[in-house]
Structure 1
Amino acid sequence: MNTAGLLDGQVALVTGASGGIGRGIALRFAEEGAAVAVHCRTAVAAAGDVADRIRASGGRAVVLRADLTDEDACHRLVHEAADWAGGRLTALVNNAGIQPVADLPGMTAAEWHTVIHTNLSSVFACTQAAAGLMRAQDDGGSITHIASIEAHAPASGHAHYSTAKAAVVMHARAAALEYGPHGIRVNTVSPGLIAREGLEEAWPEGVRRWRQAAPTGRLGRPEDVADACVFLASRLASWVTGHDLVVDGGVSAGAGW
């Protein structure tokens, strides 16, 4: 396994790791030497494929299932990950989430609560459980939430999503303040538009506008987000906490008019 070893000796739990950004994060953490607990809710086969790829490259991985809208399940997940690794957990990446579209005037309370519970309450519960373990460790740990540039600039039809992601950013800042004395760093990564299979066919105009707005001239890749997460979990970021790292190819640097 060819690894720079930035995360050698670490044990990481990545939620929502069966595909897309989560898959990229899990694979990159393993490449850098971490043992990785690959979480999924229902996509067991896809999560198994991620774990198999890690093992095939000489790494350690396990697949764990949990419904993160259930607070107790969040706590069980975190403890299962630590138990698998001999009682240690050094890194948590709160990546699991959903991004439905619903206009605010017609949005139902049920639609609102589903997004808030999935994208925000799960972050609270998993972080609380992980921090409870990390504070007992001599080396503490790191927690990274995957937020979004929509935490700062909402899009139409995403009021619930944008609100949840803005709250995730503030949760990280609050958690950094309260958990910092225990050696636990908490940050967020806010991606822009990340390429996925079928996106250009489903939303050609949006992809065109994004490329036009991005100084780098391209969509993001899961690896771009994963690299940011590796940095924040590594010793290179030992004095970085309460920070929102925007990974959007420079789109947010441009004028909004």
Structure 2
Amino acid sequence: MSGRGLLHGQVALVTGAGGGIGRGIARRLAEEGAAVALHCRTSVASAQETAVAIREAGGRAVVLRADLTDEDACHRLVAEAAERFGGRLTALVNNAGVQPVQELAGMTAAEWRAVVDTNLTAVFACTQAAALMRDQGGGSVTHIASVEARFPAPGHAHYGASKAAVVMHARTAALEYGPWGVRVNTVSPGLIDREGLEDAWPEGVRRWREASAVGRLGRPEDVGDACVFLASPLASWVTGHDLVVDGGATSRPTW
């Protein structure tokens, strides 16, 4: 594996590792020396492909399936991830999430709950399960939030609210888990590129590129780099923090 070994000896669980951002996070954690459990619900082939690539490069990876809208499944997932790598878990990345578009006036309570249960309640349950780190010398928990935690977008009342809550959850968890040696932070990405995005949303991609101080969209590996930092000893005094990874887009004035 390439990398500097910043996470040598660590064991990490990445939820939602079948999607583009999750794959990028898992690859970067593995490149820096962590053994990685890749969680997925339906994107099994994608997660397996990433795990195979990690193993072929000399790393350690397993794929675990779970429905994170089930609280008990969240606890079983965290326990199994630790069990698969000798009973230890040192890093959890709560990445799994959904981002549907739905106007607020026509949104049903069921549609609201579908987003909140996946984006927020699952984060709560997995983080609660990660309390096992207190008996293992500590660790880190990183929630993947969004710039929409602070900057709203039409059609995303449920999504933005869930991500804002995730940021506050991490800050509160940081206070409670800190005495155990467990740090809790968030990463808030801007627009991350994926296959077909420019064809599906050309105007939005154009606006994001123009807003970015560095003139490009984000890559999954950019989010992965932030997660590596927060899980590494380099961030040993960083907790309760929201790390924005958006190419400087939200630094632009809106007037």
Please name the residue that 2:235 is paired with: 237
With the length of structure 2 as denominator, give the TM-score of the two structures. 0.99
Please name the residue that 2:248 is paired with: 250
**Within 5 A, what are the aligned runs for 1:58-73?**
58-73=58-73
C-alpha distance in 2 between matches for 1:256 and 1:188: 24
With the length of structure 1 as denominator, give the TM-score of the two structures. 0.98
**Within 5 A, what are the aligned runs for 1:48-87?**
48-87=48-87
For 1:107-161, what per-residue CA distance to the aligned partner results, in whole angstroms no more than 9, with x for missing partners? 0000000000000000000000012x101112x0000000000000110000000
- Deviation of 1:18 after TM superposition, in Å, equals 1.0
Please name the residue that 2:129 is paired with: 129
Paired residue type of 2:67: D
Please name the residue that 1:106 is paired with: 106
Residue 213, structure 1, aligned to residue 208, structure 2? no
C-alpha distance in 2 between matches for 1:239 and 1:218: 31
C-alpha distance in 2 between matches for 1:194 and 1:229: 15
Paired residue type of 1:250: G
Secondary structure, aligned partner of 1:196: coil
Alignment: residue pair count: 255
C-alpha distance in 1 between matches for 2:166 and 2:45: 29
- Deviation of 1:2 after TM superposition, in Å, equals 2.4
- Deviation of 1:44 after TM superposition, in Å, equals 1.2
- Deviation of 1:3 after TM superposition, in Å, equals 2.6
Unaligned runs of at least 5 residues, structure 1: none
C-alpha distance in 2 between matches for 1:67 and 1:182: 28
C-alpha distance in 1 between matches for 2:69 and 2:210: 37
Paired residue type of 2:241: H
**Within 5 A, what are the aligned runs for 1:9-24?**
9-24=9-24
Residue 168, structure 1, aligned to residue 173, structure 2? no
Paired residue type of 1:237: A
**Within 5 A, what are the aligned runs for 1:2-41?**
2-41=2-41
Paired residue type of 2:122: S
C-alpha distance in 2 between matches for 1:153 and 1:119: 17
Match of 1:146 among 144, 150, 156: 144
Instruction: Give RMSD over aligned pairs.
Output: 0.6
Secondary structure, aligned partner of 1:64: strand
Please name the residue that 1:97 is paired with: 97
Unaligned runs of at least 5 residues, structure 2: none
- Deviation of 1:215 after TM superposition, in Å, equals 1.1
C-alpha distance in 2 between matches for 1:92 and 1:166: 19
C-alpha distance in 1 between matches for 2:197 and 2:253: 25
C-alpha distance in 1 between matches for 2:58 and 2:210: 41
- Deviation of 1:19 after TM superposition, in Å, equals 2.2
- Deviation of 1:43 after TM superposition, in Å, equals 1.4
C-alpha distance in 1 between matches for 2:58 and 2:212: 37
C-alpha distance in 2 between matches for 1:250 and 1:4: 26
Secondary structure, aligned partner of 1:231: helix
Match of 2:192 among 194, 219, 223: 194
Identity %: 77
C-alpha distance in 2 between matches for 1:211 and 1:70: 38
For 1:54-102, what per-residue CA distance to the aligned partner results, in whole angstroms no more than 9, with x for missing partners? 0000000000000000000000000000000111000000000000000
C-alpha distance in 2 between matches for 1:98 and 1:151: 14
Paired residue type of 1:205: E
